[in-house]
Homo-oligomer: A and B are copies of this chain.
Amino acid sequence: MKRQTWQRAAVREALSARGGFVSAQDLHTALKANGSPIGLATVYRALADLAVDGDADSLQSSDGENLYRACVSAGHHHHLICRSCGRTVEIEADPIEQWAAEVAAANGFRDPRHVVDVFGTCSSC
């Protein structure tokens, strides 16, 4: 069974308070800075759980870190990310979903899944 602990709540809250993508380490540092005695391993575990449950989504930064973000729209979606300030916009990509499925089928691939993220510099940067 899955238990409810203040640590998980804290991670969940800190994550949505941030808005953008954060690394597990950063989140841990932020929590500690706010006086929480939470452990690093716990943050990792909580984030992994959130990602599995669909309450957060994750992506890898270009330097190999796992970044997490509180998921606003629960469904499948993609991101437009500012490479300078990290601001993130969730985007719908219906044409891409279809295209991915078609391309996969055309090459005999089953059970297609895809990674689609767009990076750019936002208007305020």
Q: Contacts A99-B96, A104-B80; is A120 near B109 (CB within 8 Å)?
A: yes
Q: Count residues of chain A with CB under 8 A from any CB of chain B.
A: 31
Residues of chain B contacted by A103 (CB below 8 angstroms): 80, 91, 93, 118
Q: Which residue of B lies closest to A65 (CB)?
A: B64
Copies of this chain, how many? Answer: 2
Q: Does A108 contact B (CB under 8 A)?
A: yes
Q: Does A116 contact B (CB under 8 A)?
A: yes
CB of B108 within 8 A of CB of A122, answer yes
Distance between Cα atoms of A60 and B63 in the complex (Å): 10
- For the complex with contacts A82-B109, A104-B120, 4 further pairs of A-B residues with Cβ separation under 8 Å are A60-B60, A93-B103, A109-B120, A114-B117
